[in-house]
């Protein structure tokens, strides 16, 4: 139909051309065309126009198919990327959860370490106090006068005493 419309428009244009005064206003003549070559040119132009229209339609059809295929491929890739991102997000959530648990464990271990250090310091202080008491007691026992009874009775007044064992007889 498009071919017929373009041919009829061309025919109408040709008829108008034939009826126009071919004299230019400056006194020169327009070139005149004979009907036979002009009709042949008109047919060639019409055929070329039809061929060109068919090629354009074909190209547009291929472009549409190519575009559809490309869009389908892009959509598939987007779906894969979306799944990958969702998987990464869930892994990130798990890692965050693990990090919170690890931080809690580290805090617990740090508190236990500090408590152990405090206990070591307390034990060191007690050992130092015990050592001083022992030395003081040894000094006191070592310088007891001979007139005082020694405890236990088998020990002499100036003999050093080992304090770790307690005697009930005193």
Residue 90 lies in a domain: yes
Residue 97, in any domain of the structure: yes
User: For residue 118, what pLDDT is reported?
Assistant: 97
User: Does 40 reside within a domain?
Assistant: yes
**What are the mean pLDDT values of the chain's consecutive 10-residue runs (170 residues total)?**
45 45 50 60 86 85 83 92 92 96 97 97 97 92 64 51 51
Strand, helix or coil for residue 156 = coil
Instruction: For helices 2-19 and 35-142, give the axis angle rounded to 10 degrees.
Output: 130
- Count of domains for the chain: 1
φ/ψ of residue 3, rounded to 5: -65, -45
Domain membership of residue 154 (yes or no) is: no
CA angle 45, 51, 56 (to 5 degrees): 120
CB atoms inside a 10 Å sphere around CB 11: 13
Q: Which two tokens stand for residue 169?
A: 């007889």
User: What's the whole-model pTM score?
Assistant: 0.38
User: Which tokens sit at 108?
Assistant: 């617990």
In a domain, 83, yes or no: yes
Note whether residue 78 is domain-resident.
yes
- Residue 136 falls inside a structural domain: yes
Range of the domain at 95: 3-7+36-140
* pLDDT of the residue at 113: 97
């Amino acid at each position: 139909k498009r071919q017929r419309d373009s041919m009829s428009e061309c025919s109408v244009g040709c008829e108008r051309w034939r009826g126009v005064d071919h004299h230019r206003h400056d006194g020169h003549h327009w070139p005149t065309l004979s009907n036979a070559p002009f009709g042949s040119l008109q047919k060639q132009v019409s055929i070329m126009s039809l061929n060109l229209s068919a090629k354009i339609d074909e190209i547009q059809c291929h472009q549409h198919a190519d575009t559809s295929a490309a869009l389908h491929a892009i959509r598939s890739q987007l779906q894969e990327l979306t799944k990958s991102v969702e998987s990464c997000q869930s892994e990130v959530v798990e890692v965050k959860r693990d990090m919170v648990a690890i931080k809690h464990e580290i805090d617990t271990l740090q508190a236990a370490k500090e408590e152990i250090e405090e206990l070591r310091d307390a034990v060191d202080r007690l050992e130092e106090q015990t050592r001083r008491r022992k030395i003081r007691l040894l000094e006191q026992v070592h310088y007891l006068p001979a007139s005082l009874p020694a405890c236990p009775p088998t020990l002499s007044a100036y003999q050093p005493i080992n304090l770790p064992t307690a005697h009930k007889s005193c």
